[in-house]
């Protein structure tokens, strides 16, 4: 390498480093949550206009359920009353069940507060709150990929389960009784002070309709 070329390389190196750093800073980084580690906190408005956060429920087990009312996989579990039954069971045990809609405005399944409340009333939902995450911040924090995509967080704020609601990836209601209900199983094991036997599974359903 000539002296001129070497001087040019040295001169360019700080500029390249600064450009790379700027690009890294500008690009959003969404680290996937890890079972056994603290679950990401969040603050988001629910369908009734109330601010909801994970921190507010410290000391209680929390379930997060990603929802898209127009998704047939969601329709399977609500049509068969499986989701509502599990929501009610969880509530009876003091578990906080939060349904999350991360669909962006103009995308399939997006709901505003009034529409979300109407949907919950129509399907007989038993969740503690329906969260409106139109900007996708909560969804990205949890790396939520499908509707439904399920997460179980223990009373210490530690993520204990993430994945599908059950073991059979289909839109057929007849498969529900044959499937292992992973969320129900995880909640029972946590209640009994046991390790969650299936801490992760492959989520299935429609893709979350993020805006970006």
Average predicted confidence (pLDDT) for the chain: 89
13, pLDDT greater than 70: no
Q: Distance (Å, rounded) from C-alpha 68 to C-alpha 51?
A: 21
29, pLDDT greater than 70: no
The helix/strand count (H/E) of the chain reads as 6, 9
Q: What is the pLDDT of residues 98-139, one digit of tens each?
A: 999 999 999 999 999 999 999 999 999 999 999 999 999 999
Q: What is the pLDDT of residues 161-182, one digit of tens each?
A: 999 999 999 999 999 999 999 9
Quick one: pLDDT at residue 32? 86
- Residues 138/67, Cβ–Cβ less than 8 Å: no
Architecture of domain 31-207: 3-Layer(aba) Sandwich (3.40)
- The answer to whether the peptide bond before residue 148 is cis (omega within 30 degrees of 0) is yes
**Is the Cα dihedral 80, 82, 87, 88 positive or negative?**
positive
**Torsion region of 166: left, alpha or beta (phi above 0 gives left; psi -120 to 50 gives alpha):** beta
Residue with tokens 């700080």: 14
Q: What is the pLDDT of residues 65-91, one digit of tens each?
A: 999 999 999 999 999 999 999 999 999
Tokens read off for 70? 């127009």
92, pLDDT greater than 80: yes
Predicted confidence band of residue 30 (pLDDT cuts 50, 70, 90) = low
Which uninterrupted H or E stretch holds 139? Answer: helix 137-142
12, pLDDT greater than 70: no
């Amino acid at each position: 390498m000539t002296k001129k070329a070497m001087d040019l390389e040295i001169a360019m190196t700080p500029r390249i480093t600064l450009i790379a750093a700027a690009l890294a800073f500008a690009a959003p980084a969404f680290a996937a949550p890890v079972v056994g580690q603290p679950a990401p906190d969040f603050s988001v408005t629910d369908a009734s206009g109330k601010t909801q956060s994970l921190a507010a429920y410290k000391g209680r087990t929390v379930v997060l359920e990603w929802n898209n009312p127009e998704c047939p996989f969601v329709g399977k579990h609500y049509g068969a009353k499986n989701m509502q039954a599990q929501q009610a069971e969880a509530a009876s045990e003091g578990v906080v069940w939060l349904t999350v809609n991360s669909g962006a405005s103009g995308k399939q399944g997006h709901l505003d507060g009034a529409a979300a409340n109407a949907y919950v009333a129509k399907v007989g939902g038993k969740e503690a709150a329906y969260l409106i995450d139109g900007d996708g911040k909560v969804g990205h924090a949890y790396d939520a990929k499908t509707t439904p995509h399920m997460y179980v967080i223990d009373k210490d704020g530690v993520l204990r389960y993430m994945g599908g609601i059950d073991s059979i990836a289909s839109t057929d209601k007849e498969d529900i009784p044959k499937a292992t209900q992973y969320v129900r199983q995880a909640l029972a094991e946590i209640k009994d002070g046991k390790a969650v036997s299936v801490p992760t599974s492959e989520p299935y359903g429609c893709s979350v309709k993020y805006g970006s």
